[in-house]
Amino acid sequence: MKSITLIARLLLGFIFLVFGSDYFFHFIDKIVSFPDIGDKANNYLGAFAATGYFFPILKSIEIVCGVLLLINRYAAFIAVVVFPITLNIFLFDAFMAPSLLYMGGGMMILNVILLYAYRRSYSSILASKP
Span 45-81, pLDDT tens digits? 999 999 999 999 999 999 999 999 999 999 999 999 9
Please choose, from the candidates 22, 12, 119, 112, the residue with its C-alpha nearest in 3D space to the C-alpha of residue 72. 12
pLDDT of res. 39 = 93
pLDDT of res. 33 = 85
pTM higher than 0.75, yes or no?
A: yes
Residue 32, classified by CB atoms within 10 Å of its CB into exposed (0-12), middle (13-18) or buried (19+), is exposed
d(CA 24, CA 77): 25
d(CA 18, CA 106): 15
**Stretches in the chain below the pLDDT threshold 50:** none
